[in-house]
Amino acid sequence: METIPFSSIPIRNLGDDDRPREKALTQGIRSLSDAELVAIIFGGGLPGMSVVDMARNILIDCDSRVDRLAALSMDELMRKYKGVGPAKAVSLAAAFELGRRNREQAGMHEDPLIRSSADAVSLMQPHLEALDYEEFWVLMLSRANRVKYRRCISQGGTAATVVDVKLLLKRAVDCLAEGIILVHNHPSGNPVPSGQDDALTRKIKEGAALLDIRVLDHIIIARGNHYSYTDNGRL
């Protein structure tokens, strides 16, 4: 089946109601809808369809949730949506990645204070929730529960990742951590811990105790959800 070539309808050629760049300049970037922001990134629409309408239809397919759009890979964007080629897919992915890095780096200027599992989730969720493979991180905390360092200990596949407990504890000792919080993600979207998660948590807790390092929590992050061992009385 022949694919209809992508045809740009430049934003400058759209009517006043479909010119998000001009709206951003006159009313501010925050005045734009999600569809208008995506339209600026795309730059052009389909034959007979404005770029704003194209962006709006894509968002509707994602249940009008930007986080679900951000979770799509570049291949998925090109495969699912007519008119989205490599340039648009890369541009959109780059915009989401830049936003993620901004949120991540903004929290690094001051040592974040961890008062509850919610604070740890807020710190790590932007990085972990959209990954399609597992990563295992450790937050190294001071006596005042400030995050001194964040370390990715391992990366794995879609269902598991291998954690070297000796390496993890060495990192904690090197950072002079008083306490640690374990954080990893479940790409499946189900945050409930597995038997392997339970066994690993016990092993790390026992090893850390020998070094007078407290394991304060183990948090599992999934898309839009999380599980805390501490909140569930399991530490």
Q: Which band of pLDDT confidence, cut at 50, 70 and 90, is reported for residue 18? A: low
Based on the domain organization, do 101 and 115 belong to the same domain? no
| Each residue's pLDDT tens digit, 103-152 | 877 666 678 899 999 999 999 998 898 899 999 999 999 999 999 999 99
- Residue identified by tokens 């360092």 is 149
Q: Is the per-residue pLDDT at 4 higher than 80?
A: no
Q: What is the pTM of this model?
A: 0.60
The CA-based dihedral angle spanning residues 148, 129, 135, 58, taken in that order and rounded to the nearest 10 degrees:
-130
Residue 118 in any domain: the answer is yes
Based on the domain organization, do 122 and 141 belong to the same domain? yes
CATH number for 97? 1.10.150
Based on the domain organization, do 157 and 101 belong to the same domain? no
The residue range of the domain holding 98 is 11-105
How far is the CA of 125 from the CAs of 5, 9, 157, 221, in angstroms?
38, 37, 18, 7
Last residue of a domain, one of 68, 84, 105: 105
Residue 207 in any domain: the answer is yes
| Each residue's pLDDT tens digit, 54-64 | 999 999 999 99
Based on the domain organization, do 126 and 92 belong to the same domain? no
Residue 1 in any domain: the answer is no
Residue 4 in any domain: the answer is no
